[in-house]
Amino acid sequence: MSISVAIVGSGPAGFYVAAALLKAGRDTEIDILERLPAPFGLIGYGVAPDHQTTKKIARTFGQTAAGEHVRYFGNVEIGRDISLAELRNLYDAVILAVGAPRDRALPIPGIDKQGVIGAAAFVGWYNGHPDFQALDPDLDVSSVAVIGNGNVAIDVARVLVKTPAEMVASDLPAYAARAIHGSPLLDVYMFGRRGPVQANFTNVELREMGNLEACVPIVDPAQIPQAVPDGMADRDRRLKEKNLATLRGFVGRDPASRSKRVHFQFFAAPREVLGNGRVRGLRLERTRLEEGQAVGTGAFFDVCCGLVVYAIGNAASPFDDAPFDTDRAIIANVDGRVGEGLYAVGWAMRDPVGVISTNRRDAVMVAKDIAADIGAGNKPGRPALEQLLAVRGVRRIDFAEWGKIGAAEIANAAPGAPRRKFLSLEDMLDVL
């Protein structure tokens, strides 16, 4: 007897767990529910629009979605169209792969001023995410501060300073291209509260900052240590050494050699957003490291900027009536188990770090949990969901329909671009 599994969320975590369930050897019918019409979550709406190679994994996910035992239910929202309790009644197992859509809070004075934007919203905006298209950030500014030293911070900085020519092969929406390329931006400040060794940039991303057409990286040599401190695992040490070498290569670049600059500033913790209502600057405190942590030195400095983007990591949101661990900002779980027949994977279940394939580990673990926990399937699954959605008049997008929408996006692309994303459900439905 097959078991029925509903996966909520169609990002990498959702698709990896679908693939793991199919490999687990049990006869399993899988339905993937997604609140947006478009599948693939952060692949479409989080990965930077100029990093198309990273998005190729969507092809593999698409093969999973088109498989015999899998159905895609796009534009179906838990809490709006069906409750989590109802879903749990219909399926032997429900897996929450709902990600960590919020920015971690940055509780400093002035954070609520106009012109301070969390990276989740800013990245969503330049990726055409339906929730953030109306963000309309004011980019009529000459300098921007980006807080954080992770890959999201570097994505934000890079997308802001790349030229139109460098973005040709991207799927940056036209409204974002107009705002970014029409901006008088000259300087981006990247602030890390700790040092270059502690920065989370991967080396490819960091190196890219040294090869931009109109932007030069600026680094203070006094902030780059001679060597990686002892006590680090070999692999981490090698990665850190590469980053230090890359940063050393940036030292001495001529600030006037390009029209824009990205200033890497380490040991600088944000303390206050300055300005009356609108951002006019950022106050920071110099830090030093004590046992690896940033400790304020009491020395403060200000930078002028008209926009602050904080990219300090993500946090999950409470999801319907699933138990939530407020301290860790994740769905409360033990190794992916949330409750009877309820599981979580990916950023909803653990710290929101790692690359796309990091989700595979959780997926395999939860697929094993399910194999161990669920006996013979005894819930109605897909036919019952389809019936319920039909009764409620929900316009579900299935995977074949998404295929047509995706093909139209590709056909509509500007020369050199991979696709032109549809920005509304209405435009997508017009294609169908």
Report the residue from 130, 210, 339, 354 that binds ligand NAP according to the rule CB under 6 A: 354
Report the residue from 4, 151, 170, 333 that binds ligand NAP according to the rule CB under 6 A: 151
* Burial of residue 53, with CB atoms counted within 10 A of its CB: 0-12 exposed, 13-18 middle, 19 or more buried: exposed
Name residue 73's beta-bridge partners: 33
Closest residue (Cβ) to ligand NAP?
A: 150
Determine, following the binding rule CB under 6 A, whether residue 270 of this chain makes contact with ligand NAP. Answer: yes
Determine, following the binding rule CB under 6 A, whether residue 146 of this chain makes contact with ligand NAP. Answer: no
CA 154, distance to chain mean position in Å, is: 13
Per-residue burial over 315-351, b = 16 or more CB atoms within 10 Å of its CB, e = otherwise: bbeebbebebeeeebbbbbeebbbeebbbbbbbbbbe
Determine, following the binding rule CB under 6 A, whether residue 205 of this chain makes contact with ligand NAP. Answer: yes
Determine, following the binding rule CB under 6 A, whether residue 152 of this chain makes contact with ligand NAP. Answer: yes
Report the residue from 174, 245, 295, 353 that binds ligand NAP according to the rule CB under 6 A: 353
Report the residue from 52, 133, 142, 198 that binds ligand NAP according to the rule CB under 6 A: 198
CA distance 349 to 328: 10
Residues 6+ apart with CB under 8 A from 367: 17, 20, 21, 23, 24
- Of the listed pieces 16-24, 125-133, 171-179, 196-204, which binds ligand NAP according to CB under 6 A? 196-204
Report the residue from 82, 190, 311, 363 that binds ligand NAP according to the rule CB under 6 A: 311
Tokens for 396? 């579900």
- Of the listed pieces 66-74, 271-279, 310-318, 401-409, which binds ligand NAP according to CB under 6 A? 310-318
Q: Match 């006019």 to its residue by tokens.
A: 280
Determine, following the binding rule CB under 6 A, whether residue 281 of this chain makes contact with ligand NAP. Answer: no
- Of the listed pieces 132-140, 235-243, 346-354, 359-367, which binds ligand NAP according to CB under 6 A? 346-354
Determine, following the binding rule CB under 6 A, whether residue 342 of this chain makes contact with ligand NAP. Answer: no
Determine, following the binding rule CB under 6 A, whether residue 33 of this chain makes contact with ligand NAP. Answer: no
**DSSP annotation of 256:** G
- Of the listed pieces 91-99, 146-154, 173-181, 232-240, which binds ligand NAP according to CB under 6 A? 146-154
Q: Which is nearer to ligand NAP, 115 or 150 (CB)?
A: 150
Taking CA atoms, 296 is separated from 55, 265, 268, in Å, by: 39, 15, 9
Which of helix, strand or coil describes residue 30?
strand
Determine, following the binding rule CB under 6 A, whether residue 101 of this chain makes contact with ligand NAP. Answer: no
Taking CA atoms, 39 is separated from 14, 64, 71, 95, 130, in Å, by: 10, 12, 12, 16, 13
Give me the amino acid identity at 82.
Answer: I
Report the residue from 148, 217, 346, 377 that binds ligand NAP according to the rule CB under 6 A: 148
Q: How far is the CB of 51 from ligand NAP (least distance, A)?
A: 6
CA distance 79 to 321: 10
Neighbours of 23 (CB within 10 A): 11
Determine, following the binding rule CB under 6 A, whether residue 312 of this chain makes contact with ligand NAP. Answer: yes
Determine, following the binding rule CB under 6 A, whether residue 55 of this chain makes contact with ligand NAP. Answer: no
Q: Which residues bind ligand NAP (CB under 6 A)?
A: 106, 147-153, 155, 192-194, 198, 200, 202, 205, 269-270, 294, 311-314, 352-355
